[in-house]
C-alpha cells in the first residue's frame, strides 16, 4: 500500500481554466518525487491539492490507503508537513518558538509545549544549521534564513510525508546544496518527499521519481532516465539545452545552449 497515491486528479480554477488533469502516481515511504515544469504549469497548485489546501475537481488522493477527505485537520497535519514557497512573518516570535509551533498537531488543546517538544524542535534547528538564530526574532532574519526555519518547523512536526514548494528559491548556492542533501537524508529516514523545483539539476541529483508538468495540463511521471531527456525538456521549457554527463560529478547535468 502506497503512503501517498493520486488517482485521476484534476483541478480547475473558478474562472474555468483547467490547470492539470488525470494526474495519477504513487509514492512510498523513503521515496522522493521531484515536480518540474515551466512557470504556470501548476506545480504549486498540485502540491496544494496533495496537501489538502485546495479542493479537487475530479479524482481522489489516498494517504496510506485512506481517502484524504476523511482526515481531520489535525490528522492531516500528523501525516503531511508542508513547506510553502513564501511565508510572510506577522509576529516577532523567536526562531525557537516559531519552530516549536510545528509540534502543534501532537499537543493537546490548550496545553503548552513540553520539554520533549522543545528538544525535538532543537534537533530540527540543528539539522538546518540555524542554532545561532534560535533567539532571534523570526521577523528580523533574512528570507533565506526564514526558509530554513520553515523547513525546521516541518521537521519538528514529524509528519510521514513532507511537501516542499521550491524550498531552494531564496537560498544561496551552498544552502541549496544543503537542502538537496537534507531531502535525500529525509528519504533515507523513511519520509516520503514531494518537492517542486525550477532547476532540472535538482531532480537529477535527487533521483527517484520525476514528475513533469507542462502548460497544457499534461503530467508524466517516471524515473530520471525516462523523464530527463533532451527532447522532452526542450519541448516543455521551449529552450535549447543539453544534457551532458560530468565525469567529476558522476552524473548528468542540464546545460543551456547559448
pLDDT per residue as tens digits for the range 177-208: 888 998 999 999 999 999 999 999 999 999 99
pLDDT of residue 62: 97
Span 219-256, pLDDT tens digits: 999 999 999 999 999 998 988 988 888 888 888 898 88
Examine the pLDDT at 89 and tell me if it is beyond 80.
Answer: no
pLDDT of residue 191: 94
CB 155 within 8 A of CB 189: no
Residue 245, judged by CB atoms within 10 A of its CB (0-12, 13-18, 19+), counts as exposed
CA dist., res. 209 & res. 225, Å (int): 10
Q: What angle separates helix 115-127 from helix 143-157, to the nearest 10 degrees? A: 130
Residues in the chain: 258
Percent of the chain with pLDDT over 70: 100
CATH class entry, domain 1-64+160-229 = alpha beta
Mean pLDDT, the chain, integer:
91
How is the chain split into domains, by residue range?
Answer: 1-64+160-229, 91-158
First-to-final CA distance of the chain: 46
pLDDT of residue 101: 95
Examine the pLDDT at 134 and tell me if it is beyond 90.
Answer: yes
Which ranges of 2-72 does DSSP label H, i.e. alpha helix?
43-50
pLDDT of residue 80: 97
Mark residue 35 as left, alpha or beta (left: phi above 0; alpha: psi -120 to 50; beta: remaining): beta
pLDDT of residue 100: 97
**33-55 burial string, b = 16+ CB within 10 Å, else e?**
bbbbbeeebbbbbbbbbbbbebe
pTM for this prediction: 0.90
pLDDT of residue 173: 87
Span 13-43, pLDDT tens digits: 878 888 999 999 999 999 999 999 999 899 9
Amino acid at each position: 500500500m502506497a503512503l501517498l497515491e493520486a488517482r485521476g486528479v484534476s483541478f480547475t480554477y473558478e474562472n474555468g481554466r483547467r490547470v492539470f488533469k488525470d494526474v495519477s502516481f504513487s509514492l512510498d515511504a523513503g521515496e522522493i518525487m521531484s515536480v518540474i515544469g515551466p512557470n504556470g504549469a501548476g506545480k504549486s497548485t498540485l502540491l496544494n491539492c496533495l496537501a489538502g489546501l485546495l479542493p479537487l475537481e475530479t479524482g481522489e488522493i489516498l494517504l496510506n490507503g485512506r481517502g484524504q477527505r476523511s482526515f481531520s485537520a489535525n490528522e492531516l497535519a500528523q501525516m503531511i508537513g508542508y513547506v510553502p514557497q513564501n511565508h510572510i512573518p506577522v509576529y516577532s516570535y523567536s526562531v525557537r518558538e516559531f519552530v516549536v509551533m510545528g509540534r502543534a498537531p501532537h499537543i493537546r488543546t490548550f496545553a503548552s509545549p513540553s520539554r520533549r517538544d522543545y528538544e525535538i524542535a532543537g534537533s530540527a534547528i540543528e539539522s538546518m544549521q540555524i542554532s545561532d538564530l534560535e533567539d532571534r526574532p523570526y521577523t528580523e532574519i533574512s528570507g533565506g534564513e526564514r526558509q530554513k526555519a520553515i523547513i525546521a518547523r516541518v521537521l519538528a512536526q514529524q509528519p510521514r510525508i513532507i511537501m516542499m514548494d521550491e524550498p531552494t528559491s531564496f537560498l544561496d548556492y551552498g544552502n541549496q546544496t544543503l537542502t538537496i542533501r537534507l531531502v535525500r537524508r529525509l528519504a533515507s529516514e523513511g519520509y516520503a518527499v514531494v518537492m517542486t523545483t525550477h532547476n532540472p539539476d535538482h531532480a537529477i541529483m535527487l533521483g527517484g521519481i520525476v514528475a513533469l508538468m507542462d502548460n497544457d495540463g499534461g503530467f508524466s511521471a517516471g524515473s530520471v532516465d525516462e523523464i530527463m531527456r533532451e527532447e522532452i525538456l526542450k519541448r516543455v521549457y521551449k529552450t535549447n539545452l543539453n544534457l551532458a554527463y560530468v565525469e567529476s560529478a558522476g552524473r548528468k547535468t542540464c546545460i543551456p545552449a547559448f
